[in-house]
Structure 1
Amino acid sequence: MPVQLPDLPYSRTALQPHISAQTLELHHGRHHQAYVDAVNARIAGTEMDEMPLEEIVRNSQGALFEAAAQAWNHGFHWQCLHPRAGEEPHGVLADRINRQFGDVQKLREEFNRAAMAVFGSGWAWLVQHADGRLAVVTTRNANTPLTGDSTPLLVCDLWEHAYYTDYQNDRLRYLQAFWKLVNWDFAASQLR
C-alpha cells in the first residue's frame, strides 16, 4: 500500500497568526506531498511497498531515505503543533524537563541556540535517549533521530520553506512563534 500524505490534525487556518494558511498550503500541500510522492515512486513494485513509513526510513538509503525521512519528519512535525496557545508541559514530561534543563525556559533557550546554529536546512529536536535523559539535538537535511537510539519527542522544521512566507529569513521570530504552538501533550505521549 502506498505511503499516504497524512491530514493535518487541524485546519489550514488554525495556526494563524503564528503560521499562515499560505505557509501550510505550501509546506504541507506541496513540499510534504512531494516527499510522499517521491517515496511512492521509489518503492512501487519493491518489497518496501508494504512497509510502514518508519520502516522504510530505517531500511533505506540514498534518495529513497531522503524522501522517506523528510516525509516522516514532516508528519511528526505536524503533530508537534497545535492551535492552543500558552500551554506549558505538565506531569512526567515537565518533571523530566525540569530535572534535565532546570525549567521550560532554559529548554527553550538551549533549543533556540541549537536551532539558530544549524547552517542551511535541518531540524531541531527534543529527544529522549535510551537511558531516559532528555536532550536537544539537531539534524541536517533529511536526517532524523528515528534511525538512532533516541526517541523523538518534539521537532521544529528549520527548512526555509517552513517559515519564509511568514518570517522571510528571520529564523528567531519563527522559533518564537513555534513555542506558542507546541503540542506538549503529543510530546509527552512519545516518552518511553
Structure 2
Amino acid sequence: MFKPVPLKNSFSDYEPFVAREIMELHYSSHYIGYLNNLNKALEKYPEFFNQSVNEILSSINTVPEDIRSVVRNMGGGVSNHELLWEILSTKETNVVNGRLKSDVEKAFSSWDEFVSQFQKTVTSSFGAGWVWLVFDKGKNLKIVFIQNQDSPYMNGETPIFGLDIWEHAYYLQHQNGKLAYFKEVWKILDWQVIEDRYSSLIK
C-alpha cells in the first residue's frame, strides 16, 4: 500500500500566498482521495505495490485494462501532488544561480522569457490540468500543459516542476483569477529544492 507523503509545514504556514483552507482541502481531500482510490484499485494486483507510483505511470500500458483508467487518473493525481508538496516553500524565494537557471536561459533565451512563457501557458490553458517544465524524450527542456491528472511520465517525459491549475488549487482564494494565483504560488517555489532535483536528473 502506498502511504501519504506528509506536508513539510502546517496548512496555515503557506499563507498569505496560499490560503489555509485551500491547502487543507487540497491535501486532505483531493490528494488523500487520489491515494486511497489508487490503493483500492491496486489491491486486485498487489504486485504493483513493488513499484513506485512513478514507475507504474511510466509503463501505464502494462497495467491491467480493467484498472488502467483508475490508475492513470488516481496515480497521476498522487504523483503530481507529491512533487508539488516537495517544491513549495512557505516564504518568498529567489531562483538559484545553478545549472537549472543556466540551462533554462539557453533553452528560452532568458529567465524572464521562461517565466513569461510559463505564465502564458497557465493563463491560456483551457480546462483542468497542470503546467510543467519537463525533459522531453530528447532531453530538451519544454513547458507543457497536460490535461486532467495525467503525468508527464506517461508521455516519456520527466517533470522538473509543475503547477496545479485545477480550480480546487485556487478558486476559494482567487476565484477565476489564474494569473493572480500564478503570481502568488510562483513566489514560494523552493528553487533550491528544484535545483537539487534538476541536478539529480541530469547526472
TMscore range, shorter length: over 0.9
Q: Give me the identity figure in percent.
A: 25
- Which aligned pairs between 1:27-38 and structure 2 lie closer than 5 A? 27-38=26-37
Matches of 1:121 and 1:131 in 2, distance apart?
27
Matches of 1:139 and 1:188 in 2, distance apart?
22
Matches of 1:140 and 1:54 in 2, distance apart?
17
1:120 alignment partner in structure 2: 127
1:55 alignment partner in structure 2: 55
Q: Residue by residue, what CA displacement relative to the aligned partner does 1:71-116 show, whole Å, maximum 9, x if unpaired?
A: 1111111112112313113211111111112222211110011112
Q: Does 1:79 align with 2:79?
A: no
Q: Does 1:19 align with 2:26?
A: no
Q: What letter is aligned with 2:184? A: A
Matches of 2:11 and 2:78 in 1, distance apart?
18
Q: Does 1:166 align with 2:165?
A: no
Structure in which a larger fraction of residues adopt helix: 2
- In the comparison of the two structures, how many residue pairs are matched? 191
SS, match of residue 10 in structure 1? coil
TM-aligned CA deviation for residue 186 of structure 1: 2.2
Matches of 2:144 and 2:197 in 1, distance apart?
16
Matches of 1:183 and 1:106 in 2, distance apart?
20
TM-aligned CA deviation for residue 140 of structure 1: 0.3
What do you get for the CA RMSD once the two structures are aligned? 1.5
Give me the TM-score of the superposition, normalised by structure 1: 0.93
Alpha-carbon contact 1:121-1:159 (below 8 Å) kept: yes
Q: Residue by residue, what CA displacement relative to the aligned partner does 1:19-62 show, whole Å, maximum 9, x if unpaired?
A: 01111100001100000000011011412233321123233431
Q: What letter is aligned with 1:166? A: Q
Matches of 1:81 and 1:29 in 2, distance apart?
16
Q: What letter is aligned with 1:128? A: F
